[in-house]
Amino acid sequence: MYSVFGLSHDASLLLYALISILGLILLIAKFKMNPFVALIVGAVFMGLISGMPFKDIVKSYQEGVASVLGFIAIVLGLGTMLGKLMAESGGAERIAQTLVRVFGEKNVHWAMMVVALICGIPVFIQVGIVLLFPLVFVIAKHTGTSLIKIGLSLVAGLAVVHSLIPPHPAAMLAVGIFNADVGKTIFLALIVSLPAAAIAGPLYGTWISKRIKVETSSELMEQFTETKDRELPGFGITLFTILLPVILMLLATIVDLILPETNGFRQVVDFIGSPIIALLLALLFSFYSFGYARGFSKQQILKYTNDCLGPVASIILLIGAGGGFNRILTDSGVGDAIAGFAQSAHLSPLVLAFVIAGLIRAAVGSATVAMTTAAGIVAPIAMTMPGVSPELLVLATGAGSIILSHVNDSGFWIVKEYLNLSVPQTLKTWTVMETILGFAAFGMVLLLSVFI
């Protein structure tokens, strides 16, 4: 590790991380380097300048790619097939027509936020994006509403639930670390999440969509909205097919709360309620509900499930490259350096939790890593300062883990590709939305702390 300008080890690490991130953005935005290549270059540069051994740089990067794609590549593949069949059968159009009729064309972005808040409670954010983004394309085409306006409303709902509301893994772990009550945490998280999502999603999405105009990806738009002339499936069977993985995951969560870990029934439910198996079962069911029941042949279903994977190949590569960059930042010690600086600042536990989680999120890109790391740092400090609500500490940590998502976060690249944005446009939309979401949630936490 090479120190510069007489800076300490930790300060030098933070400077190198900043240089790497800014250089990465410059390579992509200014020099038009392919983002996949730029992410690899940025990760290798960070590894070298931070003093990591050569062999560790390669190993760390490969492990980062593998750890991300081991889950997300499967989820994207299964979810994209489900979305394609939903589009081809007319199921997506049925959902869109129903939402437009209930909420009105002017309020479809609010409808997407509500759908995301409901569906996002038991599912990972990546699963939610893959499941629900086909609806964004269909509704945008059906109503002529900006894809950015609807898309940001969707991801705002998913993101706030992902970081704040148990049973998401990071939130549940933070509940355990802070010794908080799960029921109280969920209740307070709902109070915090709704206004935060409204501000960052529909309200900010409406404002920024008037200032950024993009051409929709023709491949994805055609894939998710092209419906042949046939009778549309019913709203009930369509909704059940989409929500089947959500139902299975929610069932697993409920069973986990009431049955011991050694219980055989719980183990079976946990298996079918895991994200990958739940999506697989939903896809297999969709072969009937969106396929055979709509008159499709085996050959047609095979063609649809094959053809839809091409457009997501670049998304998968970018996510993997971002995961490798994330791991290099983590293994080089950037997260530990940020934690050390924040801990010595002597802030109130709520502010400390928010700041540490936010800085770690900006450095390593993972909301889950940021939340769990920050909770572990703040919990011992909070124990020495009585009167602080453990439930609010969970929410403050979660709020901090949302902010400042950028090029080292897989969510950044998923949203960029789905909305067909440039890197600067994604920073102005996704990154700003996430930051508004985190600060709005933290503001609600501070407000609640006056009464709790």
Residues 97, 84 contacting (CB under 8 angstroms): no
- List the single range of 8-22, 368-382, 403-417, 433-447 with lowest mean pLDDT: 368-382
**What percent of the chain has a predicted confidence (pLDDT) above 70?**
94
**Cα dist. 57→20, 53, 141, 178, 299 in Å?**
15, 6, 45, 34, 46
Tell me the residue type at 346.
H
d(CA 442, CA 312): 34
**Residue of 442, 373, 434 lying closest to 409 (CA atoms):** 434
Residues 328, 61 contacting (CB under 8 angstroms): yes
d(CA 69, CA 73): 5
Q: Look at residue 210 in the predicted model and tell me its pLDDT.
A: 92
pTM for the model stands at 0.75
**Structure tokens given for 364:** 């390593």
d(CA 177, CA 167): 14
**Structure tokens given for 418:** 């789905």
Residue 23 in this model has a pLDDT that exceeds 90: no
Residues 394, 152 contacting (CB under 8 angstroms): no
DSSP classification of residue 310: G
Categorize the per-residue pLDDT at 34 as very low, low, confident or very high, splitting at 50, 70 and 90.
confident
> Per-residue pLDDT averaged across 103-116, rounded?
88
**Cα dist. 344→4, 13, 104, 341, 381 in Å?**
22, 17, 52, 6, 11
Residue 2 in this model has a pLDDT that exceeds 60: no
Categorize the per-residue pLDDT at 197 as very low, low, confident or very high, splitting at 50, 70 and 90.
very high
**Structure tokens given for 3:** 């120190």
Contacts (Cβ under 8 Å, ≥6 apart) of 100 = 108, 139, 142, 143
Helices (H), 235-385: 235-258, 264-272, 275-286, 298-307, 313-331, 334-343, 349-364, 367-383
Look at residue 41 and give its three-state secondary structure. helix
Residues 389, 449 contacting (CB under 8 angstroms): yes
d(CA 313, CA 303): 17
Tell me the residue type at 280.
L
Tell me the residue type at 114.
V
Residues 86, 131 contacting (CB under 8 angstroms): no
Across the chain, what does the average pLDDT equal? Answer: 86
Residues 83, 286 contacting (CB under 8 angstroms): no
Burial string for 65-96 (b: 16+ CB within 10 Å, else e) reads beebbebbbebbbbbbbbbbbbbbbbbbbbbb
d(CA 424, CA 212): 11
Q: Look at residue 123 in the predicted model and tell me its pLDDT.
A: 64
Categorize the per-residue pLDDT at 277 as very low, low, confident or very high, splitting at 50, 70 and 90.
very high
Residue 194 in this model has a pLDDT that exceeds 60: yes
Maximum Cα interatomic distance, the chain, rounded to a whole number of Å: 72
Contacts (Cβ under 8 Å, ≥6 apart) of 377 = 339, 342, 343, 356
Q: How far is CA 173 from the centre of its chain?
A: 18
d(CA 144, CA 149): 11
d(CA 96, CA 235): 10
Contacts (Cβ under 8 Å, ≥6 apart) of 293 = 233, 237
> Per-residue pLDDT averaged across 148-173, rounded?
87
**E-assigned strands of 44-172?**
none
Q: How far is CA 129 from the centre of its chain?
A: 7
Q: In angstroms, what is the C-alpha Rg of the chain?
A: 22
**Structure tokens given for 124:** 């990972």
- List the single range of 46-50, 413-417, 440-444 with lowest mean pLDDT: 413-417
Q: Look at residue 67 in the predicted model and tell me its pLDDT.
A: 82
